[in-house]
Every structure is written in C-alpha cells, then in structure tokens.
Structure 1
Amino acid sequence: MLNPSIQLFTIGFTQKSAEQFFESLIKSGIKTLIDTRLNNVSQLAGFTKKNDLKYFLKQVGEIDYVHILDLAPTKDILDEYKKNKGDWEVYERKFLKLISEREIEKKVSPELISYGCLLCSEAKPHNCHRRLVAEYLSKKWGNINICHL
C-alpha cells in the first residue's frame, strides 16, 4: 500500500545526555521529531521541554518538531500503569484500543512518518507506547521499517 522505503524511528530521552540524544537524531537523518508524550513540559523533561526542544532541534539539526496528543495515552491509562504499578499487558491492551478508536493512521501521514522519530521518555522501547504506535502504524499501512534509537 505504501512505499516500502518508509523509515520510522523511535527514541526515549531518559538516560541520554543531550549530546547522545541529538547526535542519534542527526546521524539517523531524522526530519521530524514527533512528540508522543502526554506531558511535554514537566520538570523531568530537562532539555526535552516542548519549547526548548523545538528550538534545539532546529538549531542543532534542522529537525522539525510536532506534538501529537492523539499518539499519547490518556492520563487514566498512564496513571494506572505508572503510579499504581499496573500490568503492562493491561496497559498495552487499553492503549491499542485507544489509538484504534482515535484512528491515528488518519491523523498522521506517511510523509510525516518517513524519517520521523516518535519521542517519549522511556529509555527502552519494550514497555513504551511509542513502540506500540510504531507497530500499530506498520500493521495499518505495511512496509514501515522501525528502528529504535
């Protein structure tokens, strides 16, 4: 259905220095960083706070920034998992249902996704919604190569 050359990246900023973070994006040829966080202005975000991040991306790597809340979990789903130490399988099931109901495949375009990078805070993609978003889009569209930075 889509061009087989669609390359989609994901990255988490936790446990990365600003240098590691921006170098990974630049070396991978990222065109757009797609922020999938529910809260992109918290104190924990450090160099990845919304307005700072948008500035750094443009200055350091000529990378565009977009925040798409439809790619983020709801506060209820997130809190149940994070604050109440919920079960990953329950979180995954609820989040996949949410993004299916939101029809996220209609809210982002292949052009945005190609050499785009989904951002969230988790250091690794295994128990992270950015991986679920990437895999969901790949199932919907096909021919997306996913690389976790």
Structure 2
Amino acid sequence: MVELAGRPVTHLELTKWAFLLAHETPSHGGASFYDFLPYKYGPFSFALFHEADDLVRNGYLRDTKADGREAWARAAEVDARVGNMPGGLRADAARVVERFVSRTSEQLIDYVYDAFPWYTSNSSIRKLSKRPLAKCAVYTVGYEQWSVDQLLNTLMRRGIVRVIDVRRNPVARRYGFHKSTLTRLTSRIALEYVHFPELGIPSELRQDLQSDDDYASLFDEYTTSLLPRRQDAVAEVSHLVSDKPSVLLCMEADPAMCHRTRLAAVVSSQTGLPVQDIRGAECELTLS
C-alpha cells in the first residue's frame, strides 16, 4: 500500500487503510492478513507495526515524516513488489488507496470511527462504544492459530479485564505470545496480566504424548498429583476469577487437550463459578 500511494504514508494512514482492506473489500486482505483491536486512534494492529519495523530493519521500508507525523516510505533501492500480489488483493488494495489517499488524517479517522464504532472503545479522541464487562466465571482460552491482535480484541469484546497465564514456559515463536511481549501489549489496552508458571505442566511430563489416552493420563496426573501441591496458587487464582472477569490462558485451542480445563474445574469447585471457554461460548456481558 505504501508503493501504491506513491508517497510516504503515515503510520495512522497505513493502519487505517489496512483495516479497511480487511473489512471493506472482497479479499479481506488475504487469508492470513492482520487482525485489529481498539486502540488510541481506533483500529490498530500490533503485528502490523512489528512487521513494518522488521521491513525497516531489513531495508525494504525506511522511517520518515509526513505532515509532521511518523511515516514509512519505500526504500529507494528496493524494487516495487506490488506486481507479486494476487490480482484480487492488488485490485482491492489499489481501490482502498485511491479512495482514501487524498483524505486528511482527521477525515480518515472520522470515516473509520463512524463506520466501525467498536474500535473507538479505547480511543483517546472520542468514544462511540464502550468496552463491555463480563460476569465473573472461570473463563479459559487458547491462542493457537490466532494472532495476538485477534486474541486481545476477542478478550475485550467478551468483557475480560485480566489475563491469567498458566503456561509453564511462556515462550512462543509467534509474535506477541512471549511473556515479556504479552505483558507489554496487555498493559497498553488496560488488560491486567499475571503469570502462574507453577500451574503449568513441566516439559518433561509432556514427552511422547501420542494418543488421547496419553493426554488423559497426563491430565489425571496433573489433577491428582501436581495441583494438590499448588494449593496456594490455586487459591489465588480462585480469588482472582471471583474478583473480576479473568481468563486462564494457554496455547491449545481445544480445551479438552489442555491442562487449563482441569485447573478450571478445580477453581470452579472452589468458587462455584461456571467454566466457559471463550472460543466455544459467549460470555454474559454488561456495559461497564
């Protein structure tokens, strides 16, 4: 889209154009395009900025200024890449750029805000929507096959205000899910983050898991052997989920294949709260 614009593109412009490409075109930006969440100036993608920074470091883009704002421009020595885009995506991107390239930042923001009010819910300019607040329950979620933006947007839409990370080793190859990065990103959107590594399953116990029976045996051992030795941590989690809507976070999308479900059952028995996996059930919401 920077190439199509034929000029430096501000961070705000590129973010909003990419959002409109994802939400207002037939291609939706392609099968693995960016996800977006509400941020200071409407829809935003942490992953987009991360990848743009990589392109700057690798010499494909360069940092510059446009209209007094931070911007990106194509590096002079890099050949145009637009021709390598699939035809439908290229046409959609061109239409978005042609439609909005002459609009001011204020006009672009006004259009996006009016058309997509949810994404104003964290805005520092004006809010046309409020973040909901879920009723307390033992919520769980796995981020497998999701981007960090999709995860965080889903949690906000579902009214979650605290993430309880129950991974033993909070590292991930995919951007956004390493503990240090996730801590930083959640803090930017007013989500609390806490980590209980002692409630994860040690790596050595996860070796040679081949069948459903292997997983069942592992989770039985987790429930009957490990959790009884972690009563203080379980009690703290029980307090946290009763205090405000919180979610137990791990990697696996299928809750049946993750230890968080066994932990959730124990926490439910202590609190009397129902268990709900966020990818499988709607949360009961009120407006905060």
TM-score, length of structure 1 as denominator length? 0.82
Which residue matches 1:63? 191
Taking only the aligned residue pairs, the percentage that are identical comes to 26
Which residue matches 1:106? 235
- The 5-angstrom pairing of residues 1-149 of structure 1 reads 6-43=136-173, 45-59=174-188, 61-81=189-209, 85=210, 87-97=214-224, 98-103=226-231, 104-110=233-239, 112-113=240-241, 114-139=244-269, 141-149=270-278
Tell whether the 8 Å contact from 1:6 to 1:143 is kept in structure 2 after alignment.
no
Q: State the distance in 1 between where 2:167 and 2:234 align.
A: 17
**Counterpart of 1:11 in 2: which secondary structure?**
strand
Q: State the distance in 1 between where 2:147 and 2:202 align.
A: 28
Tell whether the 8 Å contact from 1:70 to 1:99 is kept in structure 2 after alignment.
no
Q: Which runs of 5+ in 2 are unaligned?
A: 1-134, 279-288
Q: What is the Cα deviation at residue 80 of structure 1? A: 4.4
Q: State the distance in 1 between where 2:166 and 2:185 align.
A: 18
TM-score, length of structure 2 as denominator length? 0.45
Q: What is the Cα deviation at residue 75 of structure 1? A: 2.0
Q: State the distance in 2 between where 1:16 and 1:145 align.
A: 25
* Aligned amino acid, residue 64 of structure 1: E
Task: List 4+ stretches of structure 1 deviating above 6 A.
Answer: none
Q: State the distance in 2 between where 1:19 and 1:102 align.
A: 32
- Structure 1 residues 115-134: Cα deviation after superposition (integer angstroms, max 9, x where no partner): 11111110111111111111
Q: State the distance in 2 between where 1:142 and 1:18 align.
A: 29
Larger radius of gyration: 2
Q: State the distance in 1 between where 2:246 and 2:221 align.
A: 25
How many pairs does the alignment contain? 138
Cα RMSD, aligned residues only: 1.8
Q: State the distance in 1 between where 2:136 and 2:168 align.
A: 26
**Counterpart of 1:108 in 2: which secondary structure?**
helix
Higher RCO (Cα < 8 Å, 6 or more apart): 1
